[in-house]
A and B are shown apart, each in its own frame.
Chain A
Amino acid sequence: SEPGDSHDEL
């Protein structure tokens, strides 16, 4: 994923 993507992990 591109840097700064919304982080999908907790």
Chain B
Amino acid sequence: MNAFRLAGDMTHLISVLVLLLKIHTIKSCAGISLKTQELYALVFATRYLDIFTDFISLYNTVMKLIFLGSSFSIVWYMRRHKLVQRSYDKDHDTFRHQLLVLPCLILALLIHEQFTFKEVMWTFSIYLEAVAILPQLVLLQRTRNIDNLTGQYVFFLGAYRSLYILNWIYRYFTEPHYVHWITWISGLVQTLLYADFFYYYISSWKNNVKLTLPA
């Protein structure tokens, strides 16, 4: 464990807590894409299949449980909770996320490190996570006013993977044979997808104006 990776995990945790805070306290999911939340639940479900078979560390297991629990409860809130549902913008959250799941599954079947069920599922989760934010970014483009909590949620979600890139660079130079091209390329693609959001988010923060994305 290095500082970049710990910072990445904490940033990821903060993004999830910000979202849970928003939904649980003010009972609102305004501006949040249910499609992205469902994709993230699928990412964690397929990535953490080894949660009961491979024990890495207490930290690793606890964090996996937190990410699984939070992502599924967020989907439950947005699908089942009457009050939260009222603020869900289903008319604009129309990204066909099946178009993301199938290509990632096919790609995982073609390009993976080992052809086993768990490894293919893990690789699928890596590819899917890279594109899971797309429905959310599309929704932000469509809804004019982005409230602070939603902006912070997306910002921390993007920041965590860029910290992971620093972690991979660090591990590449400090651990012999530490090479994971699949994770590295997917992580880079994932971070690049946030590039324009980061640009508008930081410039809105610098100019102290409301975050609005260009149409």
Instruction: Give residues in A with beta carbon < 8 Å to B.
Output: 1-4, 6-10
Contacts and interface: CB of A to CB of B under 8 A. Distances in A.
A1 B183 CA distance: 13
Contact of A10 (B9, B54, B114, B177): B9
Nearest to A7: B122
A1 B164 CA distance: 17
Which interface residue of B67, B113, B167 has the most chain A CB atoms within 10 A? Answer: B113
A4 B167 CA distance: 19
B56 interface: yes
B64 A6 contact: no
25 contacts: A1-B175, A1-B177, A1-B178, A1-B180, A2-B177, A4-B113, A4-B114, A4-B116, A4-B119, A6-B50, A6-B54, A6-B56, A7-B50, A7-B122, A8-B56, A8-B60, A9-B5, A9-B164, A9-B167, A9-B183, A10-B9, A10-B12, A10-B60, A10-B64, A10-B67
Contacts, number: 28
Given A8-B60, A10-B60, A3 B9 contact: no
A3 B178 CA distance: 9
Nearest to B183: A9
Contacts of A6: 50, 54, 56
Interface in B81-132: 113-114, 116, 119, 122
Return the 3 tightest CB-CB contacts between A and B, nearest first.
A4-B114, A3-B113, A6-B54
